[in-house]
Amino acid sequence: MHRFHLSLADLASASFACSPLHEAVLSIRMWTHPGIYPAQMPWFRRIRPDFERLDTELLRSLVSSNRYVPDFLTPRPTSPSPDFRAELAVVRACAPERLRAELEQTFLPHDRALPAPLAAGLADPARLLAEICDSIEEYWDVCLAPAWWPRARSVLEADIVHRARTLAQHGVATMFAELDPRLQWADGVLTIRRNWTAWDEDVRVDRRGLVFVPSCFARGAVTSISADQPPAITYPARGQGTMAGALDPPPTTRALELLLGAPKARLLAMLHEPVSTTELALRLGVTAGAVSQHLTVLLETRLVTRARHGRSVLYLRSPLGNELLR
């Protein structure tokens, strides 16, 4: 178990972040453990031809047989919506002497040996670090950034807005409980329960900030391998099923369509969860401009609300909108 000890100040400063680098690194699990993340399989089947044109041996070697990745590849985000290359620059600036200890910590307990590309590369740790970062950057540019990341970012940001709403409406204990069943909050301690290991760690947050990071590639709440890392918890993002492709809008009543018009009625029916204009346009197969025009009317009539996360604005049905759909 990991036990995070939080003071009142620690609890007040806890935050959420959406990390493109975390998703890039953790997505390598799709190529080493493809059946573990079924919601992502349709996307990664489309990406496979681009992935197979890359030199993937080093990338694949970064994931252990129990799906762990070295801590230095996933530094804690320093802002709610960081830039991929800014995050990767943090990894590039990592002290090369960290590599051996963290690679051994990742692979030796379960696999008993380092993967061959990493073991050979440790003869020159600085060069190995540069090669790893170059491979991740190429993978991001070729496979993830063009189409997958815009859809995934929308899901992750919607998850964070949902968590903020849960916190405001039901309090921190409910929010923690809904993040993942592995999390338990009691008496100032947030525990990640892991039944498959006797490994215990006590982490005192001590005003360092605790950051929660939603992910498309987590089966449950997890944290860094080492308790010495800045405190962060990665948890499974909700709503990943919406990434599978264009979804038919929920059915609407004839009366609602006559009142609002069919396009606005369909949009209102879709806004049971926070969604961005771009994501709505992708799901409906129309332009973002057309969606924006309808959302403006729904916002002015107080049928929807909006919230900002990073560079995205997410829309959600208001209580009045919910009443109208009943």
Please determine, for residue 194, whether its predicted confidence score (pLDDT) is greater than 80: no
The total of other beta-carbon atoms located within 10 Å of residue 325's CB is: 16
State the Cα torsion 76-82-85-87 to the nearest 10°.
Answer: -10
Nearest in space to 325 (alpha carbons), one of 247, 272, 246, 248: 272
- Rounded Cα–Cα distance for residues 291 and 279 (Å): 10
- pLDDT confidence of 178, banded at 50, 70, 90? very high
pLDDT confidence band for 5 (50 / 70 / 90):
very high
Q: Across all residues in the chain, what is the average pLDDT?
A: 91
Model pLDDT for residues 93-137, shown as the tens digit of each residue: 999 999 999 999 999 999 999 999 999 999 999 999 999 999 999
Tell me the backbone φ, ψ of residue 141, rounded to 5 degrees: -65, -40
318: which residues sit within 8 A by CB, 6+ positions away? Answer: 302, 303, 304, 305
Tell me the whole-structure pTM to 2 decimals. Answer: 0.82
Average pLDDT over residues 21-35: 96
Residue 95 token pair: 């002290």
From CA 208, how far away is CA 228, in angstroms rounded? 12
User: How many Å apart are CA 107 and CA 119, to the nearest integer?
Assistant: 11
Q: In the structure encoding, which two tokens stand for residue 43, read together?
A: 């996307």
Across the range 171-193, mean pLDDT stands at 94
d(CA 267, CA 280): 8
Residue corresponding to tokens 């051996």: 100
pLDDT given for residue 45 in this prediction:
93
d(CA 270, CA 321): 11
User: How many angstroms separate the CA atoms of 21 and 193, rounded?
Assistant: 26
| Residue of 260 and 21 predicted with greater confidence | 21
Q: What is the mean pLDDT of residues 279-298?
A: 85
Give dist(CA 243, CA 152) in Å, integer: 7
User: pLDDT higher for 254 or 197?
Assistant: 254
Place of tokens 């809008």: 249
Query: Does the pLDDT at position 66 exceed 60?
Result: yes
Q: What is the DSSP string of 165-230?
A: HHHHHH-HHHHHHHH-TTEEEETTEEEE--TT----EEEE-TTS--EEEEESS-SS-EE-SSTTSP
